[in-house]
Structure 1
Amino acid sequence: MQVKMSRRRFLVGSTQLGAGAAFLSNITQALGKDKRIGLALIGKLEGPDVITDEAAWPTSLSEAPDLAARVSAGKLPPVAKRIGKHPLVIKPVHEIGRYGGTWRRAFTGPGDYVNGIRNASGPDNVLFFDYAAQNVVPNIARGWETSADGKETLLFLREGMHWSDGKSFTADDFVFWFEDIYQNRKIVPAESAFLSPNGKPGRVEKVNNYTVKLSFDEPYSFIVEVLAGYTGLDGSASGNFYGMGLFAPAHYLKGYLPKYSGADKIAADAAAAGYDNWVLYFKAKSDWSRNPDLPVVTP
């Protein structure tokens, strides 16, 4: 499509561009004369670091006083038995915070779900960005490996990791999500672009209990960034309620799928709970903000 521009419009546009360029020039000159300008608005960027070198991990473990009291009461195993073989170790910015206290916040109402995402429910992406948003670092997965041709990415899970109800978190939870949720067109009506580079559907496969393989027919250059970002593959906390997320608690959600629990039973359960169909019922059970019993890998 060709767009014709009148001489008057051209002159007006040129004048506006010229004024804008002059403004930017003045800003640049000011910054050049006084190096301090703008620095107070930025300050020193600080944040926690993910420690991947096992030699730098702490040799002893401690826990919150409330958890220690539960151990003493026999309600929890000792912390050493609760931590898996490959824990997520984070070095705090300055020091470990104080336990307890009251958290006051002023954001309530219909949008409070988003506040939960920001503050308490994650992120539970398999990978994430560092605090400077420059590099991808481990998160739920302890590491990854992408093939030279960019068509396969392996995700290495943390051996000994559990869901909040104590059940093991394994590659089966990824395969369950892919085969029984994502590929169920009643739950997810169409393929997601995040898992279909150039419109060609990708695959999620189990290599072993703690290794997941993502396979594509074409190179997927940005798959690592997609896994770390706010996308449809960004973890169960923000994705499961609409059928996305890349993984889901198979041991729990199978109980709300007709394939495993029978169509008649699920339909009756959905109706008894006030839902028009089993799909809406399943999505509600997959949503931490509506179902406090849902196992999670977040606070």
Structure 2
Amino acid sequence: MFKIPRTSLVLAASLTLAGLIPARAEPIPPLQESAFWKSEVEMGDLPPVEERIPDDPVIVDLAAKGREFGHQGGTLRTMVTRSKDIRQMVVYGYSRLVGYNEKYELVPDILASYENADNRTFTLHLREGHKWSDGAPFTSADFAYWWNDVANNELLSPSGPPDFLRVEGELPQVSFPDETTVVFEWADPNPNFLQSLAQARPPFIYRPSHFLKQYHADYAEADALAAEVDDARVKSWAALHNKLDNMYKYDNHMLPTLQPWLNASSGKKIRHNFVRNPYYHRIDSNGVQLPYIDVIEMEIVAPGLVAAKANAGETDLQARGLDFRDVSILKKGEAGGNYKTYLWQTGVASQIAIFPNLNYADEGWREVLRDVRVRRALSLAIDRKTINQALYFKLGKPGAMSVLPASPFFDEKNLKAWADYDPDQANTLLDEAGLDKRDSSGTRLLPDGRPMELVVETAGERQEVENALQIVTDTWREIGVKLVMRPLDRDILRNRVFAGNTMAAVWFGWDNGIPQVYTSPAFLAPTDQVFLAWPKWGQYYQTSGDVGEAPDMPAAQRLMELAHDWDVATTDEQRAAAWKEMLGIHADQVYGIGILAGAPQPVVVSNTLRNVPEKAMWAWDPGAHFGIHRVDEFFFAQ
């Protein structure tokens, strides 16, 4: 095969969703061998860096980004509060087929380039010579294995390929013309395809086939596979395959990866170490292979200890597990702890939001919560200004759950809808809803005579939530509603919501508070059980009607229609119109009772850590928390 000389490689970078823009030629600078892997290279256990990176790596010009050029080395300490959250390394690493840059533009990353033909045909071009972390080639065969042998294997994927690949109920035609080309083709547009690939939790439409074939019945020798199943103490080869195939969980240290750091720890530990990927595909324009940092040490600590340990200087980069209430203790510890505390913007639609469950199993309560007058009254009876002052020193923005001003769909009317503190109007609405009778303590009575004691369940992870609910308890009492707060473990809370056993829950607002015209509004419609106001409706959509309940309220049905309108739209104007109407419906119907948005997120940064932005956005999606800010470009000053 003809190979382009390394000094004149072409990096075709697609910067718009419309397809490719003119490519630019960029020579690869002289490469520098990693001190971390030098001994392995000298002993012949690892190829030199020239043979480890792709023929056309991502070349990062840090000067153009206003950042410092760094050097390799060092161990970065950070903390999580649950053992399962080692998956944050996939989030923070943010190695994606396509990903968002710091301007929230979609650009190729793992991919060399892509072509988009009318949102119907997507041609993905891989990088020649790209390798998995164990040195095996990363090719279209890894996409073919996932598509043919995982996603469409009933034993491994009983529900079939993921929903984002279904358009009008139909799956794409997927082809693999050569080792570096993959084509997804639909009859109808799938405008959400690229955005899905860039998510904080990516769909991983590829697998390290050379590794997983050892555990697949279609490829492995039967007796050897049976022995592996017995050793793993699982019931079948499919159970073993799924146990080992944890691209996102990141808990299988044997599974090859394309992330900047690979898991070097096995089993459950208090500290997990992640070491630099010797085959990582990004370099800086000085020829230094990224990531700069050699090792990330992730310690698992109790939630209440994160701020105290940060205060003591026991972390180099920390935001997870910290709340705004921790800022004072963090500021006090800066001198002795050798760190500084940044305050980043938050990207969620609401810092705290209460979600009445419209699918609650109790029929009496379900009818009450489905009355929009009740939801509006509950919102009107929240003193958001007092909460903002008491918990956030007026740095938050009180208002209903809606998108943030950074989104083109922001509308002040939606932010203010049913969000003024007006107990009189709230009382009137509840009276009109037929809840005009009260017991001797002043608590309103449901139509069946039970007291209106609204149980609000929380994940018990954020003190600010419980503090806010204490204030809400007082103001709801004024309108005859008794709030009962019930803290639970996060997983227990979600399972209770999904089962219809939770009356109301508290969480953040929409993860994406800064949607653009290219962002799918599916999360505004009943398409997923994780939106806590309608878990059963979401289950119905996700299982094609096998589980859950069909949406039976007109406004929710309209949201589904509008989400579909966005999917099939052919112009940005049509997509924007769908977004605006959906946001208007949410503002009017108050499916989630937002309290305030924009409360700053404290970020602790070691004084020796460089290239961490002082002002930035802390957002799950889009953004992947630290991911969009490229942790692989952070380094320690010598």
Partner residue, 2:230: 271
- The correspondence of residues 25-40 of structure 1 with structure 2, limited to 5 A, is none
| Distance in 2 (alpha carbons) for counterparts of 1:216 and 1:51 | 24
- Show structure 1 runs of 4+ deviating over 4 A: 50-54, 262-265
* Shift in alpha-carbon separation, 1:106–1:222, aligned structure 2, 3 A: closer
Partners of 2:55 and 2:228 lie apart in 1 by: 39
Structure 2 matches for 1:139-218, cutoff 5 A?
139-148=109-118, 150-191=119-160, 192-218=162-188
Q: CA deviation at 1:90?
A: 1.9
Query: Which amino acid in 1 is paired with 2:209?
Result: A
SS of match in other structure, 1:131: coil
2:256 is the counterpart of 1:295: yes
Larger radius of gyration: 2
In the TM superposition, what whole-angstrom CA distance separates every residue of 1:90-146 from its partner, at most 9, and x where no partner exists?
223412334222322222433323322233xx433211111222x110111111001
68-77 or 78-87: which moved more?
68-77
Q: Which residue of 1 aligns with 2:72?
A: 99
CA shift in 2, pair 1:261/1:63, >3 Å: same
Q: What letter is aligned with 1:295? A: P
User: Which string of whole-angstrom CA distances, capped at 9 and with x for unpartnered residues, describes residues 128-186 of structure 1?
Assistant: 111222x11011111100124x3211000000111111111111110111000000122
**Inter-partner Cα distance in structure 2 for 1:144 and 1:265:** 40
Residue among 219, 242, 259 paired with 1:260: 219
Q: Deviations over 1:249-278 (max 9, x none)?
A: 111111101111255543442122121322
Aligned mates of 2:197, 2:57 — CA distance in 1: 19
Residues 57 and 129 (structure 1), Cα distance of their counterparts in 2 relative to 1, 3 Å cut:
farther
TM-superposed CA distance for 1:230, in Å, is 3.9
**Quick one: structure 1 residues 290 and 267, their matched pair in 2 at CA, closer, same or farther if it must change by over 3 Å?**
farther
Corresponding position of 2:86: 113
Q: Give the RMSD, CA atoms, in angstroms.
A: 2.4
Higher RCO, Cα 8 Å, sep 6+: 2
1:128-143 aligned within 5 A: 128-133=99-104, 135-143=105-113
Which runs of 5 or more residues in structure 2 are unaligned?
Answer: 1-10, 14-22, 262-638
When normalised by structure 2's length, the TM-score is: 0.35
How far, CA to CA, are the matches of 2:12 and 2:96 in structure 1?
17
Answer yes or no: is the 8 Å Cα contact 1:127–1:140 preserved in 2. Answer: yes
Paired residue secondary structure (2:102): coil
- Is the CA contact (8 Å cut-off) linking 2:122 and 2:183 kept in structure 1? yes
More displaced, 174-183 or 256-265? 256-265
Paired residue for 1:46? none
Bigger mean CA deviation after superposition, 51-60 or 184-193: 51-60
The one-letter code sitting in structure 2 at the alignment partner of 1:123 is Y
Question: 2:52·2:135 contact (CA, 8 Å) conserved in 1?
Answer: no
Relative to its length, the structure with more helix (as a share) is: 1
Q: In 2, distance between residues paired with 1:266 and 1:78?
A: 35
Which residue of 1 is the match for residue 59 of structure 2? 89
Distance 2:192 2:232 in 1: 41
Q: Distance in 2 between matches of 1:277 and 1:76?
A: 35
Alignment check: 8 A CA contact 1:51 1:90 kept = no
Q: Does structure 2 conserve the Cα–Cα contact (< 8 Å) formed by 1:51 and 1:91?
A: no
Q: Which moved further from structure 2: 269-278 or 71-80? A: 71-80
Change in 2 beyond 3 A, CA 1:96/1:183: same
The total of aligned residue pairs comes to 235
Structure 1 pair 113–102 and aligned structure 2 pair: CA distance change class (3 A): closer
Q: 1:215 to 1:55 in 2, by over 3 A?
A: closer
| SS, match of residue 154 in structure 2 | coil
Query: Does structure 1 conserve the Cα–Cα contact (< 8 Å) formed by 2:94 and 2:200?
Result: no
Q: Is the 8 A contact 1:51 1:57 kept in 2?
A: no
User: Is 2:195 aligned against 1:225?
Assistant: yes
Structure 2 match to 1:9: none
